A and B are shown apart, each in its own frame.
Chain A
Amino acid sequence: MFRNQYDTDVTVWSPEGRLLQVEYAMESVKQGSACVGLRSNSHCVLGALKRSVSELSWHQKKLLEIDDHMLVGIAGLTADARTLAKYMRNECLHNKYVYGTPMPPHQLMADVADKHQRTTQTYVRRPFGVGLLVASVDPLTQKPHLYQTCPSGNLYEFYASAIGARSQSARTYLEKHHETFGDASRDDLIVHALQALVGCVSGDDELTKENASIGIVGKDEKFTLLEGDALQPFLDRLELKGGDDDEEEAGDDAAAEAEPMET
């Protein structure tokens, strides 16, 4: 009936020293729609692909504001992410109220990671089924930081990363270009984020101003969300693949297809 007997409880180690329930929770991150993040020396940008459950529904929100200097992108169970976002917002408010300064991102991220860890060691709660990409600017140094959390409680800081369904293609794109991100302008970062997202769109779909979403924080820029018409100018700068019209236009230019646009 079961694949094995070690995979139904979080508090049980497998003979190989693995926690299968935690690994399964990490699978749910891969089910969520893609989310990419990258940073320069002044800005941190998140991009996400929004899903809609039907023709008549809105697209599900993917980027959540935490504070003026912080936002999260989510992949996995949205409801779990909202619980975490609520916690993070509270911590930020609390820090501001008690100490009079914005929450230092690395400190909050360590707390969030510990919150994840607790669910993996006690019987009462299941692990969170969501991965977060957190874009932030350290209020003290004004330097941008991009963090990634994982249901296991692991925490990473990246120059660029992607999570969610078909995110491998985005990571490949980012790995190829991440060395140029340091000095990139804010707008270039946005285009890179969108370009990375293009590969994450499922077969018969394409990246549009409806399903794309971009969030920015920067040295002198508070949380900004770009959606809908505000995104169109950036989308126009992309080389879309798979789109019906664009395929005909770009299809002839094989070189351009192989080498994604440098901006």
Chain B
Amino acid sequence: MASSGSGYDLSAATFSPDGRIFQVEYAGKAVENAGTVIGIHAKDGVVLGVAKPLYHKMIVPTTASYKRIHTVDVHAGVATTGFLPDARVLVGRAQEEAADWQEHYGSKVPPHVLADRLGHYVHYFTLHGALRPFGASCVLGGYDVDTKECGLYMLEPNGAAYKYYGVATGKGKQVAKTELEKLNLHKQDAESSMDVATAVKNVAKILILLHKENKDSDGKPMELELSWICEASKWKHAPIPKDVLTAAKEWANEQLEEEDEDDEEEEEAMEEG
């Protein structure tokens, strides 16, 4: 790496001659190496999803300490990835911000405000030499009680908090992004626009696809953690019901198998042609 050894990459308080802050970029690397998170903003709700590899044989999979999607307020949740201890701090901060807003204004914090405030917090850690940027990223889904609209945001280690129709971060985010782009999520007025039920299936499909494509993880046990905010959850952030999740997984596996077969047929056709 060109930056290595130059001395401009040892502190978050140092700019390089071409105006970059390498420490923040390195923190981003911690996210790129960690599990994939996907979020979809459908026309009638938001869906968050994480794939959790089960590295240890003896780990308790259902425990609270292994949670990657957290509820920060009744109507908002975050899915986390990266250096998980850092991610937990972000979750704690999000919960505090939501509670503070409620105490001050007596209403639920709108998602864009929550995302913005978290962005400020993360950004602060990119300014000081005595601090280290967060090595974690999170996807925030929320419901605005006043406007009756959902919002999906991603927080990056540099403090950016953009709004998305569909977003992926962590390991394999490029593949996930390509898959998300196929879903035409940005055309929400079109007839083909996606509802939450379909979004759940697609999140499961992309996560399973990534797990299968990754040579390191294929064959190893993996658990899907999915949550949503929609009418079915009474506009509260809640884990997806077990039967819905099971159905989504089955659909995803069928789809992936079909696509595999199609690919093979195509290849054969190519060879013949």
Q: Does A64 contact B (CB under 8 A)?
A: no
Instruction: Report B-chain residues with C-beta under 8 Å of the C-beta of A175.
Output: 57-58
Question: Interface stretch among B3-11, B191-199, B217-225, B246-254?
Answer: B3-11
Q: A155-B65, A157-B66, A178-B58 are in contact. Are A13 and B132 (CB under 8 A)?
A: yes
Question: Interface stretch among B26-34, B110-118, B147-155, B257-265?
Answer: B26-34
Q: Does A239 contact B (CB under 8 A)?
A: no
Contacting B130 at CB < 8 Å: which of A11, A145, A155, A160? A11
Q: A17-B32, A157-B59 are in contact. Are A114 and B131 (CB under 8 A)?
A: no
B29 in contact with A117 (CB, 8 Å)? no
Q: Bound state CA distance, A117 and B85, in angstroms?
A: 6
A17 in contact with B31 (CB, 8 Å)? yes
Q: Does B36 contact A (CB under 8 A)?
A: no
Q: Does A147 contact B (CB under 8 A)?
A: yes
Contacting B23 at CB < 8 Å: which of A5, A13, A155? A13
A12 in contact with B132 (CB, 8 Å)? yes
Q: Does A222 contact B (CB under 8 A)?
A: no
A12 in contact with B23 (CB, 8 Å)? yes
Instruction: Report B-chain residues with C-beta under 8 Å of the C-beta of A10.
Output: 132
B26 in contact with A13 (CB, 8 Å)? yes
A13 in contact with B85 (CB, 8 Å)? no
Q: Bound state CA distance, A159 and B54, in angstroms?
A: 14
B132 in contact with A11 (CB, 8 Å)? yes
Residues of A190-238 whose CB lies within 8 A of B = none
Instruction: Report A-chain residues with C-beta under 8 Å of the C-beta of B83.
Output: 19, 152
B23 in contact with A154 (CB, 8 Å)? no
**Contacts from B to A (Cβ < 8 Å):** 1, 3-5, 7, 9-12, 22-23, 26-33, 56-60, 63-66, 83-86, 88-89, 92, 125, 129-133, 135
**Contacts from A to B (Cβ < 8 Å):** 5-6, 9-19, 106, 109-110, 113-114, 116-117, 120-124, 145, 147, 152-161, 171, 174-175, 178
